[in-house]
């Protein structure tokens, strides 16, 4: 059974810092992994999708890496801004089942 | 492209009533739709997977008679919470994918259900 852990659970930083959010998963048999952002009381916004054959994906100030064999993914946020404040969720998609199992999330607060 | 909507966005109902939540893929045909629930300050938990024209597959611990899922067309899936109770209060989110498997899931904005 896939288990997903995200570290840290919460993070508060001053504006402008570069951040690394960590995600680890127990079953490496995945077909892709997505990082999402969730604002309070809202749905999910997909940030980055990494296929299992890829090592990283970039979008603007965001960069996500994937090490499938070790069951790890990281989300790097450059030059953080107050608008980045949200909960960040990672979700590996199971190979064969195509189900997403969500991590516990990292609650990020960027202070102006 | 790949927009998923949910209706209603928020619903409040009395205990014992049934509530229907709709999930629509607006600009693509969704062979597979997924339903998740999220309790406050917790992560999303997959409830069931539905393929168009087939019975839904429920995750362990999810009561299929309690949470009725219908995926009658390639653009619409519904989740009906029957005889709702306060413990059913939660945030329900659907996602949709074009293919039966191995495709990106596009998520809806969620429905907040409060049962009094």
Asked if A83 has any chain B CB less than 8 Å from its own CB, the reply is no
DSSP helix/strand/coil, A32: strand
- Asked if A110 and A80 touch (Cβ cutoff 8 Å), the reply is yes
pLDDT for residue B40:
82
DSSP class per residue in B63-81: -TTTEEEEEEETTEEEEEE
- Residue B3 and residue B84: Cα distance in Å, rounded? 29
Contacts of A91 in chain B (CB under 8 A): 44
- Closest to B93 measured CA to CA, from B6, B1, B11: B6
- Token readout for B16 is 């014992």
Per-residue pLDDT of chain A (112 residues; tens, 9 = 90+): 889 999 999 999 999 999 999 999 999 999 899 999 999 888 888 899 999 999 999 999 999 999 999 999 999 999 999 999 999 999 998 877 778 899 989 999 999 9
Of all helices (H) and strands (E), which one includes residue A56? Answer: strand A56-59
pLDDT for residue B101:
62
pLDDT for residue A43:
85
pLDDT for residue B102:
56
DSSP helix/strand/coil, B87: helix
Cα dihedral across residues B97, B103, B109, B114: positive or negative: positive
Asked if A35 has any chain B CB less than 8 Å from its own CB, the reply is no
Task: Note the helical H segments in chain B.
Answer: none
Contacts of A93 in chain B (CB under 8 A): 105
- What are the Cα distances from residue B106, in Å, to A80, A100, B80? 26, 11, 21
- Asked if B76 and B31 touch (Cβ cutoff 8 Å), the reply is no
pLDDT for residue B105:
84
DSSP secondary structure letter of residue A40: T
Q: Which of A32, A96, A103 sits opposite B43 (nearest CB)?
A: A103
Asked if A88 has any chain B CB less than 8 Å from its own CB, the reply is no
- What are the Cα distances from residue A33, in Å, to A95, B17, B115? 11, 38, 34
Q: Which of B45, B102, B107 sits opposite A31 (nearest CB)?
A: B102
Across all residues in chain B, what is the average pLDDT? 92
B46:A100 CB<8 A: yes
- Asked if A108 and A19 touch (Cβ cutoff 8 Å), the reply is yes
DSSP secondary structure letter of residue B88: G
A104:B43 CB<8 A: yes
- Closest to B79 measured CA to CA, from B32, B21, B23, B13: B21
Nearest-CA residue of chain A relative to B101? A98
The arithmetic mean of pLDDT across residues B29-37, rounded, is 93
pLDDT for residue A99:
83
In tens, the pLDDT along B11-28 reads 999 999 999 999 999 999
Q: Which of B44, B101, B102 sits opposite A102 (nearest CB)?
A: B44
Contacts of B110 in chain A (CB under 8 A): 42-44
B93:A44 CB<8 A: yes
Percentage of the residues of chain B whose pLDDT score is greater than 90: 77
Asked if A92 has any chain B CB less than 8 Å from its own CB, the reply is no
Contacts of A97 in chain B (CB under 8 A): 101
């Amino acid at each position: 059974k896939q288990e997903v852990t995200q570290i840290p659970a919460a993070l508060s930083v001053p504006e402008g810092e570069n951040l690394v959010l960590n995600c680890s998963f127990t079953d490496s048999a995945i077909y892709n992994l997505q990082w999402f952002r969730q604002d309070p009381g809202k749905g999910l916004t997909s940030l980055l999708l990494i296929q299992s054959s890829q090592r990283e994906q970039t979008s603007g100030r965001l960069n996500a890496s994937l090490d499938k064999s070790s069951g790890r993914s990281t989300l790097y946020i450059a030059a953080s801004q107050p608008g980045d404040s949200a909960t960040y969720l990672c979700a590996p998609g199971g190979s064969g089942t195509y189900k997403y199992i969500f991590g516990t999330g990292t609650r990020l607060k960027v202070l102006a | 492209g790949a927009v998923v909507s949910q209706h209603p966005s928020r619903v409040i109902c009395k205990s014992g009533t049934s509530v229907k939540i709709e999930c629509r893929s607006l600009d693509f045909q969704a062979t597979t739709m997924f339903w998740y629930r999220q309790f406050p300050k917790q992560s999303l938990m997959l409830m069931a997977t539905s393929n168009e024209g087939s019975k839904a597959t429920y995750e362990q611990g999810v009561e299929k008679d309690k949470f009725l899922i219908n995926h009658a067309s390639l653009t619409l899936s519904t989740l009906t919470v029957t005889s709702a109770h306060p413990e059913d209060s939660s945030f329900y989110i659907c996602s949709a994918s074009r293919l039966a498997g191995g495709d990106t899931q596009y998520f809806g904005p969620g429905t907040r259900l409060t049962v009094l």
